[in-house]
Chain A
Amino acid sequence: MNLKPALLVALLASLVLLTGCTKPATWVGVTPGELVVCERLAVRIDGAWSRLEGTQQPKHDVWTSEGMPLDQLHFYTGLAEGEAFVPVKDRPADKPIPRFRKDMQAQDVVEMYEAFASRDGSVFKLEKLSPAKFADESGFRFEFSRVRKGDEVRTRGVAYGAIHRGELFLMVYEAPRIHYFTKHLPQVEAIAQSARPREKG
């Protein structure tokens, strides 16, 4: 599926709106090697990635290799009890948004992510959920497929998650099923294997 420029612009615009920043967020190249995501998750990378700067979300980082919206790598670093994948407040409109609870099991986290990934009517399907080491914990790994509502692009995704000292660490990679997903999967797996939590400074 070829993406029309207007669609790309619209998707980028919606991304900027989603991330809620006041000044336009910009993509900045990530230097390969060791780095710490949001001061909480140390990873090692060797590929060419860009990260979105200026989102003003202290516990969420978004990266891309091919450029948005082609592929995206999200890090959620240390969500605490009551927090969600989007900023939430104590208002009626936010009541249905699922929030993290530290007694959540792997299934619950997957479901919480599913609610987030299908909030616009996209169709999310869990393909596989299994135990996996992540962030020094006995965590979990899941694979999913999705049909994005906006452009009906069929994507695949892989995620690693763990609850470390009552906080949720999750990294999610998602890319079009054709070509891009398998192209970057080995790199994403390597990043996940390298991930180590950092305690709050």
Chain B
Amino acid sequence: MDRRDFVGTCSCCGAMALLGSALRAAQGWTPPPRIPRPSPKTDEGGLWALMDREEERLRQSSFLVRDAAISAYVHAITCRLAQAHCPDVRTYVVRSPYFNANMAPNGMMQVWTGLILRAENEAQLAAVIGHEVGHYMARHSVERLRDAKSRTAFAHVLGLVPVAGTLAGLGVLAGAFAYSRNHERVADQIGLELMAAAGYPPLEASKVWTNLLAELQAEKDWTGDASTRSLLFATHPTEKERQTKLEAAARALGRSDLDPRAPALRQATAPWRQVWLEDELRRRKFGESLALLDRLTAADPQDGQAAYFLGEAYRLRASDGDGERALAAYQKAAGLPGVPPEVHRALGVLYRKTGRLPEMREAFGRYLAARPDAEDAEMIRSYLTEGG
């Protein structure tokens, strides 16, 4: 599931009519038996072979996160959800700051770091993984393969791969799996069932939605961009309805007493959070980033790292008044636990610009004391000696 998958890209706007039957079908649902490897002679077998090649490529990719701890953590969540299917699924954590996860029919599962960063607790991460496992268990990709509309897309992909080699991004393949709206609803429902069975409160799934929609809206508000993704809301009013339906289905399942496991996620991601937040700001989607950082700082006002990156987001956005907002955020962050030493560099740079030299020297001094071998230490030292 990339965000397009999760939010829904299909043009089948009459799909709402199908919703009732889809949910009814899913509610009487029990996990299917493990999926055997299809014969290479079948169309499904061909699809698996294609995915096996993609998986080999992914294994070699420098964007694959090879840290054993974080990979094991995410894979364990997959396994809790996939139950008996666990041995058939491989979980790959991919360094990319976008909200994205997807599952190939051969059991290759990708979880992108931008998605993990956005999860407020383990249950929210499980919600997205559960949705993907839902597509896998229901073998939606095979249905797509045999669907006349997507056959062209697959043919395109199959034809493209041998020619362009490394240029054929996984996104191209993901595009071929633009599931139907009905498939999305079934995967949503299966995901909720799997969450509950694995001990996660299903209602967290709808919170993923709420947060995502808020970020997209914030981005639209900032850029004033009426194109691309914001068009999603203009042309697909049913997206909000899907959120409502998901929430209703989650409430129907109950189990709100279950622990969403927020500390577990926080602990597992702690060594990576700074890098992921840096990656996040490089997207330069400041509407989305500020919505995310507002959420993080509100969730834990003592979180120095989130407070620092809130300042970074304002500084980089550089709209009217953002300089003051950044300064205020940095000053607050500087007194909080967990703040990276870069906050003192950020303060020093702002003080230097405004000619507040004593404060500049103190801030840069604190930065250099913490990071004497920083990559920019020589540059900073030159600021300390200028102006006598």
Contact = CB atoms under 8 A, between A and B. Distances in A.
A136 B194 CA distance: 66
Contacts of A108: 349
B167 A93 contact: no
B284 A150 contact: no
Interface stretch (A58-66, A113-121, A190-198): A113-121
Interface in B279-301: 282, 284-286
Interface in B99-154: none
A86 interface: no
B11 interface: no
A126 B166 contact: no
Interface string B161-174: 00111110000000
A127 B374 CA distance: 9
B235 interface: no
What's the interface size class on B, roughly? 20 to 34
Interface stretch (B31-39, B201-209, B222-230, B333-341): B222-230
A140 to B, nearest CB: 6
Contacts of A10: 164, 167
B42 interface: no
Contacts of A22: none
A114 B282 contact: yes
Of A95, A118, A127, which is in contact with the most chain B CB atoms at under 10 Å from its CB? A95
Contact of A7 (B165, B225, B282, B375): B165
B270 to A, nearest CB: 21
B352 A105 contact: yes
Interface stretch (B19-27, B246-254, B376-384): B376-384
B190 to A, nearest CB: 31
B316 interface: yes
Interface in B48-62: 61-62
A103 B353 contact: yes
Given A92-B223, A152-B62, A129 B166 contact: no
B164 A6 contact: yes
A200 interface: no
Contacts of A150: 166-167
Contacts of A140: 379
Interface string A94-125: 01111001010111101100110010010110
A108 to B, nearest CB: 8
Interface in A154-171: 154
Contacts of B318: 98, 101
A122 to B, nearest CB: 10
Contact of B223 (A95, A98, A121): A95
Contacts of B353: 103, 105
Interface in B162-201: 163-167
B227 A93 contact: yes
A4 B165 contact: yes
Contacts of B379: 106-107, 129-131, 140
Nearest to B379: A129
B217 to A, nearest CB: 15
B166 to A, nearest CB: 6
Interface string A10-49: 1000000000000000000000000000000000000000
Lowest 3 CB-CB distances: which A-B pairs, in order?
A130-B378, A92-B225, A96-B284
Given A95-B222, A105-B352, 4 more contacts: A10-B164, A105-B353, A107-B379, A129-B378
Interface of A: 4, 6-7, 10, 92-93, 95-98, 101, 103, 105-108, 110-111, 114-115, 118, 121, 123-124, 126-131, 140, 147, 150-152, 154
Interface of B: 61-63, 95-96, 163-167, 222-227, 282, 284-286, 316, 318, 345, 349, 352-353, 375-376, 378-379, 382
23 contacts: A4-B165, A6-B163, A6-B165, A93-B227, A95-B222, A95-B224, A95-B225, A96-B284, A98-B316, A101-B318, A105-B349, A106-B376, A107-B379, A108-B349, A110-B376, A111-B316, A123-B95, A126-B376, A129-B375, A129-B376, A130-B376, A131-B378, A154-B62
